[in-house]
Every structure is written in structure tokens, then in C-alpha cells.
Structure 1
């Protein structure tokens, strides 16, 4: 059975060693990188199943490493950072991270979040007996098995969370989802205080990529005071 490989990229060696110690106890294979450049070299040369990234690293920061990862890979990414504001967390999630923890942190909580992200990732990668149906509406085509979205034949680059939000709404076109429900469906965890901003920022970015403006069809419709629905 293939060992699951986790990349830890942090320029603080003591923190990287602490994380590695706890994850090795879970049976994971660990690769450590001291800066963003080393992190990208590891990703390009080896098979990585999940990445834990600091944001403030030499050479390349965590945001840039995430941007480069998302160009070719769908592995889960967890930011572990001393940057603690809600804006920092939202920025990290919008950039393509799947989770965000702040320092100082509880190592056991990090292990639990790693396990959760890997479970979801492995469920997604398992081949299905029956493929999920392709969704089409107003020039928009959503292929859930390939995790791709095209608009009038042009590929739209979405982050994993943006895709999940769009697919949730599009497969339930007559249903209105409030922010709390979207967060629980897409992030797979209990709603927390800043979850409202997290969802709204993702929807704003998604609308921009889909070209939702006054001159074009609005694929994501706001039902004021209630939530969001798909307008296909």
C-alpha cells in the first residue's frame, strides 16, 4: 500500500519538526521544505498528497506556492500561519487553500484537520461506478468528474472551493442556500463566525470569473435576506 506523503513547508525548523513528529505517528511519510522554492521543487519531483504551508517564507511565499500548485494539482492545502486576521484567512482560502490554522496551534487539531482533508480528497479521487451527470445551462458546462467548467466552450479556471460552490448550486437549481448551509456543504465542517465573509468572498470571485454582470446572464442569483440560488 502506498504511503501517504505530506509536505511541510515552514522556515521555522522547530515547528516543522513538531508537525512531522505528530504526523509520522499517524503513519504518514513526511517531506520538509525550508522555503517556498524548496517546496515547489519537492512538488515537481515527488508525489505529494497534502501540503502544509506557512505564508511568510523566503524565496516564494505561501500564496505564490499555492498559486503554482493550483495550476497543475488538486492536492489539499492547509495554511499554518502567524497571520491571524479574518482578511488573511479569507485571502488564503480564496487563493486556493482548503483550510487555514493560526499559530500558535494545537498539533492534535492539525492532525485531525489533515486526516479530514485527506479523507475528502481520497473520496473525490476514487473512481465511481456511475459517472456524475454533466450540468449545462446558458452556455455553462460543468463536468463534475473532471472538475472542469467551461463557458461558451472556454475553460474557466476555478479554485476547488469555487467549483464546489458552483456545483452545489447548479445541481439544485430551484433551491435557495443560505450562507451557513453553503459553508457546511462545501467546507464540510461546522459554521464559524467568519464563515459568512468566507462564502461571500468566494461567491464574489466566482461571479467575476463567470462574467456575471448587468450585460450577461447572472448564473448565481442573490435572494435578499435568504441566500443564493442558481439561475440557469
Structure 2
């Protein structure tokens, strides 16, 4: 991986200083903003690889900054929240953030989250080096290598975790996954038991696939979710 440019937006200069020293010692380039408005401007001007947004900031808070940034660029975003309340976490994910970290946190934990996001964005499914797999279900086509989803021949944009979740479910039609299993297998680390994270992403997937004639992603009450293809629908190749 090339040297990452990380933008940290936090109104606490001590937090920015700690992260700057830590990330620079690991060969990351750090950009800093003291509020959400500065973060939006820096994203446009400096094109960082990932953005870390504190929720509570003056001028423009992290939620508003997240909205504005994603209007301009499709870029991974991690939210920082001091409250640790479910509303904050879920709202950030619904706005399009890829992850969140609750304060207080260690710089090492934040770096682990960053690495996990880029691993998911860059990895190839098993066996794909020799033969590229494309999952086709009627008007829905999922290409894991290109990270591309076509709905009736038209591209549909997905956030990194949304795509990973959809591809994971589609890879094994009919298999029922609990929320805990999806957190472990898609997110790749302990998400501190916040199973609402999966529900939020399933909701976003369904909204983006709303034009399909078939639902595909089904809720198995009391258990979790599964990808259900129409009989005779699935093709792989």
C-alpha cells in the first residue's frame, strides 16, 4: 500500500497532535482540520485517501461534514464520537460513514480500523486470481473484482462495506447468517456487539436495490439475513 493521506477533523488540538505523531511514525501523511467546514474544503483541495471526522465540532459538525464530503467524493469516512450513544453511531452509518470509533480510543485501534477498510477495498475473493467470478441473478449482476454492481444493466454505487456485505451474501444464496456472523465475516473484527450496524447496512442495500423485481435480501426473523435467488436465477461466471 502506498503512503496513505489521512485527514483528521477534530476541534481538540491535543487529539490531532497525538494522531499526527502516531501516524507520521508509521509513514502516514496527516492532514488536519479544526472543524467540519475545514474538512470539506481540505477534501476538495488535497484529495486525502480517508477522512476521520469527530461528531461534535464547531462551525459544521461531523454529520453535516460527512454529507457534504460524500456529495463531492466517494471516500472512506470514520466517525469519532465521545458520547457512545447508539443514535450517533447509527446516524453516522446511515449518512454513509464506513465505520465509527468511540472516544476515548487508542491511535493503534484507529489505525487498525483504517487498515481493515483498505483491506476490504483491495482484496479479491478466493480463487479469483485464475478465474474471475461474477454473480448474476436476473437483472442483478455483482462483480467482486471490479467491485461493481449492475441493476438492469445500469451501475449502482455502493459504499465499501455495503458492497462487501452484498457480495458476501450473494456468494452463498440461501445461507442464513446471523448479525454476529456478518460482523465477524464482513467487518473482520469485533464490533463491540453493535449488531445494529448490520441492520443499517441491510437497509441501505435494500434502498439501492429497490427497483429490482425480486427482493433478494430476506430477513430470517430471530436469526439474521440471507440472499435468496429466484429459482433458476443464479449464474456464476
With the shorter chain as reference, the TM-score category is 0.7 to 0.9
Q: How many residues align?
A: 226
Q: Is the 8 A contact 1:212 1:218 kept in 2?
A: no
1:107 maps to what in 2?
107
Q: Distance in 1 between matches of 2:214 and 2:121?
A: 33
Q: Is the 8 A contact 1:132 1:145 kept in 2?
A: yes
Distance 1:87 1:12, change over 3 A: same
Matched, 1:188 2:188: yes
For residue 225 of structure 1, give the secondary structure of its aligned residue in structure 2.
Answer: coil
Q: Distance in 1 between matches of 2:67 and 2:163?
A: 16
Distance 1:55 1:187, change over 3 A: same
1:7 maps to what in 2?
7
Name the TM-score, length of structure 2 as normaliser: 0.81
Name the TM-score, length of structure 1 as normaliser: 0.83
Trace 1:26-175 onto structure 2 (pairs within 5 A).
26-71=26-71, 73-123=73-123, 129-130=129-130, 132-175=132-175
2:208 maps to what in 1?
209
Q: Distance in 1 between matches of 2:196 and 2:211?
A: 19
2:218 maps to what in 1?
221
For the aligned residue pairs, the C-alpha RMSD in angstroms reads 2.7
Deviation at 1:94, TM superposition (A): 2.7
Deviation at 1:219, TM superposition (A): 1.0
Structure 2 stretches lacking a partner, 5+ long: 230-237
Q: Is the 8 A contact 2:116 2:188 kept in 1?
A: no
Deviation at 1:8, TM superposition (A): 0.8
For residue 32 of structure 1, give the secondary structure of its aligned residue in structure 2.
Answer: strand
Distance 1:166 1:114, change over 3 A: closer
Structure 1 stretches lacking a partner, 5+ long: none
Deviation at 1:46, TM superposition (A): 2.3
Distance 1:209 1:52, change over 3 A: same
